[in-house]
């Protein structure tokens, strides 16, 4: 035995936990938390152990494959890359440049190669038909930041380690390990708030794992968060008075807020939210009277019809109570590599629109819910070819049932992925990059969204096989070939430097430019990472608005209140139907990692949670098989009766549905589950931002 110990950050989810991994001659023998990591302090979750499964997974692809009449066949990298570049360009020649569509999955943002060098490949295609997981569950955060602070990635982060009061809406950090709030070891961090005499209050239609350890929990009707927040704001302005402190100097329109919230006293919204007026008043008072407080919302308040407005109101509440850009409130990181300084990252809105449904782009991407329309609807600009990268939209985008045949109808499809899954099975060619542990890593995104400033560089654990490629090599090779066919100049410095040194030279340059003035060598000598301290006040300097002021009341967001009011007046009756909300699971990573034995073994966790009263009305008992149906789809699963669900609301985990023909995922296929996104029509979106609305209100559940 020659045991070697490696330290690296886990890049499976946003928490970027430090890992201590022991290997012996190419095999992983142990994975545990790195107690010396300054951010995660030794915390890890069960998914970290699954890195071993991922490394050893016999279903994982190692070489390019092409679909033939007799099945998948291995081909050379050269043939695959030449063929892809030629086909994508000829389809663009024939049908126009937007005839090639691109879908980027969530793992890309966890990946150094994708974050640094994938843009070169994307730019080479010059298509406006770009889609990603952003518009499935996080666009509202970016939308609010863009219009209020001038940059789509200037996202406020709760200062969880110093706050005295945390109000959480539609988020379950105990299971997600934080999202748009990189926060490993969140259980202890939340407990610390309460141990120091503070409070954690959770507002959610489900008494989640986070709610169970919180000081208080209130059920709220799914999608009614906008009314709750408007009533909280009404109380703050009319009863407690605004106290923005030093923020008043650089915040526009504070005086106009009162008229905006006047129609939303707690008594007027209680019947919609399900939260009585006294409770709203108590929460508003506690928030205002706390030494420091922060309001935080996440996926549950993104994936609804008013996601953008909800995130704007969350920011407004933090600002007008003075809990913004200050210790214990919502703050901003000072990352060692500051991606916000790239002018191209600022963002834009409505520069072009989708062809079929006339939906505006945000940050260069169109809403993912309309991808199938753009493939299936004939006419100029129709998508005829797709490139997917580390994404499985058939499972993760509402109405995957429409997208599934749409992908099959394409003239050509290529996927960059190391699995044949529900989406990539439609590809003509699949290009597999090497997996996580064979790559170096510096987290460009999640150091930017973390609750503490730290920096961490990870070396690869293993050498890659000479016949395999890093993802960034695939991007460079495709960009080069496409530019050559198009006779367009390529960014030579970027191309040749990256070919020689990989994305590391970009990290070295970014560190040098950053405020911490770290060097890559210094990071390499500190394998546990470097602590750069707690978050610091940074406004107005950090603002990206032209006048360095916060735009408290962007016209586009204030304008959305008309829709909010109209919906308040015309709330449709439920007619005995149930509302379905999704849920995240600790042993799952959206739609992937379902092929890892260590995560999938044990009891079946794919079940529907429903309240005892809803079960009784339908004569359903705990553990029975039931059928969940919408007007669009149905599937069967086991019922779990629990009072953690609000009456009238049921919950099923997302990311499942591995029952398609031709996928090569042996473990996932053995636990297929059902795809909750197939229950959706794909028509429901937040009309303001284009984010998917996945709260389904037309659900039936019955015994089978």
Letters for 132-171 (x = contact with ligand SF4 by CB under 6 A, - = none) are ----------------------------------------
* CA separation for the pair 182, 159 (Å, rounded): 11
* CA separation for the pair 588, 565 (Å, rounded): 38
Among 20, 23, 39, 47, binds ligand SF4 (CB under 6 A): 47
Q: Are 109 and 365 in contact (CB under 8 A)?
A: no
Q: Give the other-Cβ count within 10 Å of 669's Cβ.
A: 15
Contacts of 68 (CB under 8 A, 6+ apart): none
* CA separation for the pair 452, 446 (Å, rounded): 11
Q: How near is the Cβ of 41 to ligand SF4 at its closest, in Å?
A: 11
Single out the segment in contact with ligand SF4 by CB under 6 A; choices: 42-50, 321-329, 370-378, 452-460. 42-50
Q: Give, as ranges, the residues between 8 and 27 that touch ligand SF4 (CB under 6 A).
A: 10, 12-13, 15-17
Letters for 326-365 (x = contact with ligand SF4 by CB under 6 A, - = none) are ----------------------------------------
Q: How near is the Cβ of 454 to ligand SF4 at its closest, in Å?
A: 13
177 is a site residue for ligand SF4 (CB under 6 A): yes
Secondary structure E strands in 87-178 = 100-104, 130-132, 157-158, 165-169
Single out the segment in contact with ligand SF4 by CB under 6 A; choices: 40-48, 318-326, 486-494, 519-527. 40-48
* CA separation for the pair 57, 64 (Å, rounded): 17
Q: How near is the Cβ of 539 to ligand SF4 at its closest, in Å?
A: 29
Among 28, 39, 48, 254, binds ligand SF4 (CB under 6 A): 48
CB-nearer residue toward ligand SF4: 16 or 257? 16
CB-nearer residue toward ligand SF4: 264 or 446? 446
CA 129 to chain CA mean position, Å: 20
Q: Give the other-Cβ count within 10 Å of 34's Cβ.
A: 27
CB-nearer residue toward ligand SF4: 21 or 386? 21
CB-nearer residue toward ligand SF4: 138 or 152? 138
CB-nearer residue toward ligand SF4: 45 or 99? 45
* CA separation for the pair 189, 57 (Å, rounded): 34
CB-nearer residue toward ligand SF4: 30 or 616? 30
* CA separation for the pair 568, 269 (Å, rounded): 8
Single out the segment in contact with ligand SF4 by CB under 6 A; choices: 5-13, 188-196, 291-299, 347-355. 5-13
Q: How many residues does the chain have?
A: 704
- 634-641 and 625-629: which strand pairing? antiparallel
* CA separation for the pair 225, 313 (Å, rounded): 10
Q: How near is the Cβ of 177 to ligand SF4 at its closest, in Å?
A: 4
CB-nearer residue toward ligand SF4: 99 or 599? 599
Single out the segment in contact with ligand SF4 by CB under 6 A; choices: 41-49, 133-141, 500-508, 570-578. 41-49
Contacts of 563 (CB under 8 A, 6+ apart): 306, 687, 688
Q: How near is the Cβ of 158 to ligand SF4 at its closest, in Å?
A: 17
CB-nearer residue toward ligand SF4: 17 or 301? 17
First-to-last C-alpha distance (Å) of the chain: 55
Among 21, 28, 39, 45, binds ligand SF4 (CB under 6 A): 45
CA angle 106-481-424, nearest 5°? Answer: 35
Among 21, 28, 39, 44, binds ligand SF4 (CB under 6 A): 44
184 is a site residue for ligand SF4 (CB under 6 A): yes
Single out the segment in contact with ligand SF4 by CB under 6 A; choices: 6-14, 242-250, 510-518, 633-641. 6-14
Q: Are 220 and 207 in contact (CB under 8 A)?
A: no
Single out the segment in contact with ligand SF4 by CB under 6 A; choices: 39-47, 138-146, 373-381, 504-512. 39-47
Q: How near is the Cβ of 110 to ligand SF4 at its closest, in Å?
A: 9
Q: How near is the Cβ of 125 to ligand SF4 at its closest, in Å?
A: 32
Ramachandran area for residue 623 (φ above 0: left; ψ -120 to 50: alpha; else beta): left
Nearest residue to 550 via CA among 354, 241, 315: 315
Q: Give the other-Cβ count within 10 Å of 193's Cβ.
A: 22
Structure tokens at 309: 């407005």
CB-nearer residue toward ligand SF4: 186 or 220? 186
Q: Which DSSP state fits 434?
A: P
CB-nearer residue toward ligand SF4: 16 or 121? 16
Q: Are 72 and 59 in contact (CB under 8 A)?
A: no
425 is a site residue for ligand SF4 (CB under 6 A): no
Q: How near is the Cβ of 271 to ligand SF4 at its closest, in Å?
A: 39
Q: Are 210 and 188 in contact (CB under 8 A)?
A: no
* 482-493 b/e (C-beta count within 10 Å ≥ 16 → b): bbebbeeebeee
CB-nearer residue toward ligand SF4: 599 or 701? 599
* 101-115 b/e (C-beta count within 10 Å ≥ 16 → b): bbbbbbbbbbbbbbb
Binding residue count for ligand SF4, defined by CB under 6 A? 12
CB-nearer residue toward ligand SF4: 182 or 370? 182
CA distances from 274 to 121, 209, 218, 271, 496 (A): 49, 21, 9, 6, 59
Contacts of 132 (CB under 8 A, 6+ apart): 103, 104, 105, 108, 365, 368, 391
CB-nearer residue toward ligand SF4: 298 or 469? 298
Question: Looking only at Cα atoms, what is the longest distance across the chain?
Answer: 72
CB-nearer residue toward ligand SF4: 5 or 702? 5
Q: How near is the Cβ of 441 to ligand SF4 at its closest, in Å?
A: 11
Q: How near is the Cβ of 538 to ligand SF4 at its closest, in Å?
A: 26
Binding site for ligand SF4 (CB under 6 A): 10, 12-13, 15-17, 44-45, 47-48, 177, 184
């Amino acid at each position: 035995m020659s045991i070697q110990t490696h330290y690296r950050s886990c890049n499976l989810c946003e928490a970027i936990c430090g890992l201590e991994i022991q290997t012996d001659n190419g095999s992983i023998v142990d994975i545990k938390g790195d107690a010396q990591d300054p951010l995660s302090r030794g915390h890890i979750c069960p998914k970290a152990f699954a890195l071993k499964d991922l490394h050893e997974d016999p279903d994982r692809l190692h070489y390019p494959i092409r679909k033939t009449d007799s099945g998948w066949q291995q081909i050379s990298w050269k043939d695959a890359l030449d063929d892809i570049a030629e086909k994508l360009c000829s389809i663009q020649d024939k049908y126009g440049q937007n005839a090639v569509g691109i879908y980027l999955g969530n793992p890309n943002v966890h990946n150094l190669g994708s974050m640094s060098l994938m843009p070169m490949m994307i730019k080479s295609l010059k298509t406006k038909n770009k889609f990603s997981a952003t518009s499935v569950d996080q666009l509202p955060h970016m939308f609010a930041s863009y219009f209020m602070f001038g940059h789509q990635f200037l996202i406020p982060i709760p200062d969880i380690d110093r706050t005295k009061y945390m109000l959480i809406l539609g988020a379950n950090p105990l299971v997600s390990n934080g999202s748009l709030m990189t926060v490993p070891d969140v259980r202890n961090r939340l407990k610390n708030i309460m141990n120091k005499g503070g409070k954690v209050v959770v507002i959610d239609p489900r008494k989640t794992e986070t709610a169970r350890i919180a000081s208080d929990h209130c059920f709220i009707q799914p999608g009614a968060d906008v009314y709750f927040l408007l009533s909280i704001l009404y109380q703050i302005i009319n009863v407690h008075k605004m106290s923005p402190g030093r923020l008043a100097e650089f915040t526009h329109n504070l005086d106009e807020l009162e008229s905006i919230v006047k129609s939303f006293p707690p008594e007027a919204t209680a019947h919609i939210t399900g939260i009585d007026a006294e409770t709203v008043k108590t929460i508003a008072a506690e928030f205002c009277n706390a030494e420091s407080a922060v309001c935080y919302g996440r996926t549950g308040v993104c994936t609804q019809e008013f996601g953008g407005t909800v995130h704007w109101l969350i920011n407004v509440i933090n600002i007008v109570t003075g809990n913004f850009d200050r210790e214990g409130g919502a703050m901003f990181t000072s990352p060692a590599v500051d991606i916000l300084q790239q002018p191209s990252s600022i963002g834009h809105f409505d520069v072009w629109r989708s062809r079929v449904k006339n939906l505006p782009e945000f940050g260069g991407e169109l809403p993912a819910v309309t991808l199938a329309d753009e493939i299936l609807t004939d006419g100029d600009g129709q998508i005829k070819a797709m490139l997917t990268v580390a994404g499985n939209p058939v499972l993760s985008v509402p109405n995957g049932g429409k997208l599934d045949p749409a992908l099959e109808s394409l003239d050509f499809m290529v996927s960059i992925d190391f699995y044949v899954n529900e989406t990539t099975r439609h590809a003509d060619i699949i290009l597999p990059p090497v997996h996580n542990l064979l790559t170096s890593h510096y987290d460009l995104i999640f150091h930017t969204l973390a609750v503490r400033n730290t920096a961490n560089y990870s070396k690869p654990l293993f050498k890659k096989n000479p016949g395999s490629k890093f993802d960034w090599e695939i991007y460079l090779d495709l960009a080069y070939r496409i530019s050559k066919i198009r006779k367009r100049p390529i960014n030579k410095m970027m191309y040749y430097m990256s070919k020689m040194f990989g994305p590391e030279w970009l990290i070295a340059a970014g560190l040098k430019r950053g405020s911490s003035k770290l060097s890559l060598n210094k990071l390499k000598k500190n394998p546990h990472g470097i602590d750069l301290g707690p978050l610091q006040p940074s406004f107005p300097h950090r603002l990206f608005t032209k006048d360095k002021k916060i735009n408290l009341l962007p016209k586009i967001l204030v304008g959305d209140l008309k829709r909010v009011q109209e919906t308040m007046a015309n709330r449709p009756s439920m007619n005995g139907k149930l509302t379905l909300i999704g849920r995240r699971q600790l042993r799952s990573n959206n739609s992937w990692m379902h092929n890892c034995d260590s995560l999938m073994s044990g009891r079946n966790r794919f079940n529907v949670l429903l309240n005892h009263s809803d079960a009784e009305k339908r004569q359903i008992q705990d553990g029975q098989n039931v059928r969940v149906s919408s007007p669009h789809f149905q599937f069967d699963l086991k019922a779990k009766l629990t009072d953690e669900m609000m009456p009238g609301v049921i919950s099923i985990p997302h990311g499942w549905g591995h029952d398609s023909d031709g996928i090569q995922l042996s473990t996932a296929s053995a636990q297929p589950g059902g795809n909750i996104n197939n229950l959706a029509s794909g028509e429901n979106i937040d009309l303001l931002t284009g984010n998917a609305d996945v709260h389904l209100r037309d659900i039936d559940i019955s015994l089978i």
